[in-house]
Structure 1
Amino acid sequence: MSRIDEIVDFQASHLILLDTCTLKKPPGTVAIIERDNIKEFVPISTHTIPLHIIIDLLLDKLPGLNVFMIGFVPESLEGFTELSFYKEDEFSLEERNENQDLPFFAFHLSEIIQKAANQIII
């Protein structure tokens, strides 16, 4: 929950989430999803706590928070049953716990999604 505390302490006005979603659109589709629709398009969570519950918790603490999601339609989630650590051979579990800025899990973007991500970040 430390990230929630950081967002609250920062008094964020906006929260932008990036995640895969189910839009019934072609793979590679990128969409902006309003807060009220996030639960509809992210019905199966890979997160310990579903996103909509975390959002509700944040909104209780920051009622003016604007929340939306940039959703990416994956080509497939088949075979996505086992997660691997980000740079597994380079960081110990202790180092991961000490550095909250490290991604916890590794993920790989398709060429289309990587291009969209680069446009958003740049």
Structure 2
Amino acid sequence: MTKIKIIAGNKEIPATLNDTVAAKDFFKRLPVTVTGSNSGIDICCTLSEGKFDPSEKQTGWKNGDISVADGWLALLYGGQEQSGSYPGMMIVGHIEGAYISEVADFPSRTQVTVELA
């Protein structure tokens, strides 16, 4: 488990990467800066596809999960209850619980930097 931080404006959000192949690949790419949109359940940013193990993909997410899949980086702060209809999720980490609501408050369009903590 690797500690990272997500920076948007003056907010710094602590998170942890897991031990999946995709998380290890994402770690090698840090720091990364992308621009994303707030959809109402996540901050969604384009990010080039990395390495992953297809057997580690899952259906759905828990609020606070970080996903890197199919050319997207998603900071998932809501929608857990309906997430069962989203297959192919590649969860690479999780935002610390108390900070999930801060991600929800990111502006509709925001620049996000992910780096080592």
Which TM-score applies when normalising by structure 1? 0.29
Which TM-score applies when normalising by structure 2? 0.30
Return the index of the structure with the highest Cα Rg. Answer: 1
- Considering Cα pairs closer than 8 Å and 6+ residues apart, tell me whether 1 or 2 has the greater RCO: 2
Greater fraction strand: 2
